[in-house]
Amino acid sequence: MDGVRGMKVALIDSGGANIGSVRHALARLGADVVFTDDTETIRAAERVILPGVGAAAPAMAKLRAAGLIETIRTLERPLLGICLGMQLLFESSEEGDVDCLGLLPGRVTKLIESEGVRVPHMGWNRLQPIRPSVLLDGLPEGAQAYFVHSYAAPVGGDCVAACTHGMRFAAVVQRGRVAGAQFHPERSAAVGARILDNFLRAGVA
């Protein structure tokens, strides 16, 4: 934990709820967390996290109003999107038919509801590793995380772990300095804490 203690982490204000639990989860790991929509503060941070609970269109409108679209697109520090924050990393979302940040290729679509498959997807589900990633280091076989969402990103070339709820979707993604988790690490007990710790310690590259 020594390498994490005091690390400057910017938690971007994207207008969503549940920010307090994310902040506390990071603080428990030893990070120095600031909740902000200030460009200079975000650029000065060692790690940047884009959380999100809610809908894609209002979140993108909030980021645009705060002048943060280009700030996020041109960041040089490691960036982690959480839940809706991960969805915003992609090119577009079916939710509100909105253009997103475009840092990752693909379009976010609604989960398919069917007999025995409820939408939103709420609860614990197993992560299915696809390729090695620093984000997954140290996770046990059969690791589960806590999901709450109705939309999801495709399993593309940047997907390092998938999940299945009616359809298969991206649970963890990584491309260069950009990464995302569709689930809530702050609500995923030891598995979530390990992923956050991995991100803080090693970032992504």
Report the C-alpha gap between 68 and 100 in whole angstroms. Answer: 12
- Residue 1 within any structural domain of the chain: no
Catalytic residue among 121, 149, 165, 184: 184
- Residue 67 within any structural domain of the chain: yes
- Residue 114 within any structural domain of the chain: yes
- Residue 15 within any structural domain of the chain: yes
Each residue's pLDDT tens digit in the chain (205 positions)? 457 889 999 999 887 656 888 999 999 999 999 999 999 999 999 999 999 878 999 999 999 999 999 999 999 999 999 999 999 999 999 999 999 999 999 999 999 999 889 999 999 999 999 999 999 999 999 999 999 999 999 999 999 999 999 999 999 999 999 999 999 999 999 999 999 999 999 876 6
- Residue 118 within any structural domain of the chain: yes
CATH assignment at residue 131: 3.40.50.880
- DSSP assignment of 76-137 equals -S-EEEETHHHHTTEEEETTTTEE---SEEEEEEEPPPBTTB-SSEEEEEE-EE-S--GGGT
Report the C-alpha gap between 17 and 160 in whole angstroms. Answer: 27
To the query of whether residue 141 is one of the catalytic residues in this protein, the response is no
The whole-model pTM stands at 0.95
pLDDT attached to residue 1: 45
CA neighbor of 147 nearest in space, from 130, 129, 131, 170: 170
To the query of whether residue 159 is one of the catalytic residues in this protein, the response is no
To the query of whether residue 40 is one of the catalytic residues in this protein, the response is no
Catalytic residue among 83, 100, 159, 163: 83
Q: Report how many domains make up the chain.
A: 1
- Residue 121 within any structural domain of the chain: yes
- Residue 166 within any structural domain of the chain: yes
pLDDT attached to residue 19: 80
pLDDT attached to residue 17: 57
Domain residue limits at 37? 8-202
- Residue 175 within any structural domain of the chain: yes
For residues 11, 78, 91 and 154, what is the CA-based torsion angle, rounded to 10 degrees?
-100
pLDDT attached to residue 18: 63
